[in-house]
Amino acid sequence: MTIKIKAFGPIADKMNARELELDPPGNLDDLRKALHEKYPQLVHLDFAIAVDRKIIRENAPLSPGSEVALLPPFSGG
């Protein structure tokens, strides 16, 4: 079973995808590392991550079937 990644705003632009499925990395730090390797453009961008619709700032384990949202800040108004 995979995990679902949902990308928002400029993150989706940099990944050229709004959704993708990945084999579950062990935890959020592993996921960040895997994303930075695949999409080096994300390295300098500090985005928030939600797992199953809860924002999580620290490292946390990821379970198969989880939905992970990558949430950049927006500035426009």
Partner 1 sequence: MNRFERQTNLRGLGIKGQNKLRNAAVLVVGAGGLGCPAMIYLAASGVGKIAILDGDRISVSNLNRQVLFGRGDEGQLKAEVAAKHLTDQYCDSEYLSLPFFLTSENAAEIMGDYDLILDCSDNFPTRYLINDTCVLLGKPFIQGAIYEDEGQVAVFNLSQKGQASCHYRDLYPEPPAAGLIPDCNKTGVLGVLPGVIGTLQASEAIKIITHRGISLADNILFVNLYSNENYLMEIRPKTDSRAKMPSDLEELRSWNYQIEPKTGMEVSWSVARNWLRNDPEKVVLIDVREPQETPRLNHPTSLSVPMSHIEKQQGKLEKYKRILFFCSSGQRSLLAANKMADQLKGCELYSIKGGISQSDSPINASEKWKRN
20 binds partner 1 per the rule CB under 8 A:
no
DSSP 37: H
Single residue of 20, 25, 30, 45 touching partner 1 by CB under 8 A: 45
Helix (H, G, I), strand (E, B) or coil at 27: strand
Helix (H, G, I), strand (E, B) or coil at 9: helix
Strand partners for 20: 5
Which CB sits closer to partner 1, 22 or 60? 60
Binding site for partner 1 (CB under 8 A): 6, 8-10, 18, 44-46, 48, 50, 53-57, 69, 71-77
